[in-house]
Chains A and B, each alone.
Chain A
Amino acid sequence: MAIAKAERLMNLALCLLGTRRPLSKRELRESIEAYVEAFGPAPGAAFGPGRSALSGPPAGSEDSFNRMFERDKDDLRELGLVIETVENLDGEVGYLARRDSNRLPPVRLDAEEAAALGLAAKVWQQARLAGAASGALQKLRAAGLPEDVDPYEAHGALEPRIPVHEAAFEPLMLACRDRRPVVFEYRKATAAHPAPRHVEPWALECWRGHWYLAGWDRDREAERVFRLSRITGKVRSRAGKFRAEVPDVVTVRETVASWAGEKADRTALIRLRKGAGYPLRAKAVGARELDEDWDELEIPYGHGLDAWLVEFGPDVVVVEPAELRADVVDRLRAVAKG
């Protein structure tokens, strides 16, 4: 059976961390059993356990070893290892992970702080971030994070969860992290078909359980906010750097709130049947009783109010403005016709 990847990675990590001088690719290949097993001894190696140098590695194994070695280094960097590449006087490249650049600076957390972080580490419902969060906690544990408090005990019943259902999340998170331009197919809320969008991704934000991306739309040459659930197909990376400057503060929430009609700058007057429409009452800026069946409410008038009011059917009548009244009547007619 091939040697498990985790064992191979662990050995590579320990070799790189344990050495004081840079190790050449060849030395690493000879030191790590998984490489020897898969690819045979390095070319020209005069020794090899139980193998004659004459039998040699299978053809093409040099390339496959190089590919695996590069991937393994990338994987170790992914989990935080700083691996230096050093060229010696003979032009040979060597690798090492210096102790001082890989050591966690001292961090002292008390039991309360540790419990709070324990709770935070559990909120991700996305495999990569959940793994990264527990990995972070494990590194802190190894560095002496107190462990006598069970986070659930300490925090009673609170169970916050960050939902991530959108497939586009992970590639976009990496693109934001590495500042890589991307292209994806995006279907606008009301468009029948998706269209390609070229975007420099800045930041992702989760609001009310949905994920949004803010970034620079290269075709429109403007800042745009995208809802991840409307991205269809794959997110693909593009070569090259960002062209537009990344702002210090990216405000996804404000843009989304204005889509949701929460940036109302005027008010509307409606009649509401008694006992009905609690959420409208909760939002009202003014209210008075009209008669024994009806109240009159003044409510903020933002984008989408017409659609919301129609939900209440015969329990709501718009008084003014006329424009809202016409929109509501229009919608009701469409439903009445069926």
Chain B
Amino acid sequence: MAANAIDQTRRMLSLVTYLRERPGARVADVARAFGISQDELISDLDVLPLCGTSFRGGDLLDIDTDGERIWWHNPDDVAEPLRLAADEATALLVAARAVSTLPGLRESDRLALLRATAKLEEAAGEAAGASSRLSVTFESEGGVFADVDRAISERRRLWIRYYSPARDQLTEREIDPIRLVSVGHTYVEAWCRRSEARRTFRLDRVAEIKVLDEPSAPPEVELRDLSAGLVQPAAEDPEVVVEVGPGGRWVAEYYPHDSAEELPDGGLRITLRTPEPASLRRLALRLGRDGHIVSPQDLADSARRAAREALAAYEEQAPEAGAAPADGPAR
């Protein structure tokens, strides 16, 4: 793939500079310094001896490895540290600025990041200019974040009062935090002592938090790769089908789903899975005339019942002047 050849070339250019200063460098150390696997490094080392300033002149890079250490037998000054490309400066600067806005980030880390950003901007020079065209803001609750962060580093248990939108309830639970993850919102992944299972909690839904004296003891769990998104419905979860009009197309943007078929009126028929279909009653109510639940039937019924019950409260009171009559047209 083209992008990989560019990445590999960029890496090999840096590698040459790096190796010049470190005769006999260890494969394991170099791989770590470059953030690549040892296999990737070895494949770079396979290519380097085929490279030089002229293949006829015989001045190829004489770099070899015994699998443990790396030797460059004819080091020259061909590669000095290279200036940063616009994309490189942008990628690193935008990420650094975003991370430095994380509320609750340790102050010493934030300061280190800000210092590094300033030095990087200076070193990148003009290449740093384009980085202002990209920005990222992480959202999270500062105080909650700081407590979770502290609990993780001190390995202590947390008590939280947590809001569940599915049930519109606050529940109290004790959790053993594993890690903090920021994907748009900030979440703590933890072992929940109440449900004896791994759970993910969104920090802006934590109503109250206390760091407890008890030590945190989450069982060894394999960390999931969260690049596909935090919500990963299981195949055995019940299926829900929602039909929306054009005004309800946002549902497909907010809810991970199995499929979204276009409907002739510009709407969508969305099929999704959730462990708790009842939690979608809120969605059905919110959609109003922009959509409805097709199945399961009891979910559709519960939304209708809730709406009728809510309407009853308005009908009990005398309608205010100007309000639509109870049996008026829907539009």
Contact A104 B83 (CB under 8 A): yes
Contact pick for B168, options A4, A82, A277, A337, CB 8 Å: A277
B259 proximal to A (CB < 8 A): no
Closest residue of chain B to A187, judged by CB? B249
Contact pick for B137, options A117, A206, A332, CB 8 Å: A206
B314 proximal to A (CB < 8 A): yes
Contact pick for A31, options B15, B56, B284, CB 8 Å: B56
Closest residue of chain A to B119, judged by CB? A107
B250-307 interface with A by 8 A CB criterion: 250, 253, 265-267, 281-289, 292, 300, 303-304, 306-307
Q: Take A113-B112, A191-B266, A192-B266 as given contacts and tell me if A107 and B311 are in contact as well, using a CB distance cutoff of 8 Å.
A: no
Q: Take A80-B127, A116-B96 as given contacts and tell me if A135 and B149 are in contact as well, using a CB distance cutoff of 8 Å.
A: no
**25 A–B pairs (Cβ distance < 8 Å), ordered by A:** A6-B4, A103-B80, A109-B119, A112-B109, A112-B112, A113-B116, A116-B96, A117-B113, A121-B91, A129-B94, A132-B87, A134-B7, A136-B91, A138-B11, A139-B14, A157-B152, A158-B105, A163-B229, A276-B168, A278-B168, A322-B323, A326-B324, A335-B287, A335-B292, A338-B292
A331 proximal to B (CB < 8 A): yes
Return A38 CB to nearest CB of chain B, in Å: 14
| Interface, chain B (partner A; CB < 8 A) | 2-15, 17-18, 21, 32-35, 47-48, 50-56, 78-92, 94-96, 98-99, 102, 105, 108-109, 112-113, 115-116, 119-120, 122-123, 125, 127, 130, 132-139, 149, 152-153, 163, 165, 168-170, 177-186, 207, 226-227, 229, 246-247, 249-250, 253, 265-267, 281-289, 292, 300, 303-304, 306-314, 320-324, 330
A17-35 interface with B by 8 A CB criterion: 17-19, 30-33
Contact pick for A10, options B3, B9, B34, B185, CB 8 Å: B9
Chain A neighbourhood of B285, CB < 8 A: 310-313, 331-332, 335
Secondary structure of the A side of the interface? helix
Complex Cα spacing A253 to B13, Å: 39
Contact A308 B13 (CB under 8 A): no
Of the four ranges (under 10, 10 to 19, 20 to 34, 35 or more), the interface on chain A belongs to 35 or more
Contact B34 A80 (CB under 8 A): no
Chain B neighbourhood of A317, CB < 8 A: 310, 313-314
Secondary structure of the B side of the interface? helix
Contact pick for B330, options A105, A106, A163, A337, CB 8 Å: A337
Chain B neighbourhood of A110, CB < 8 A: 112
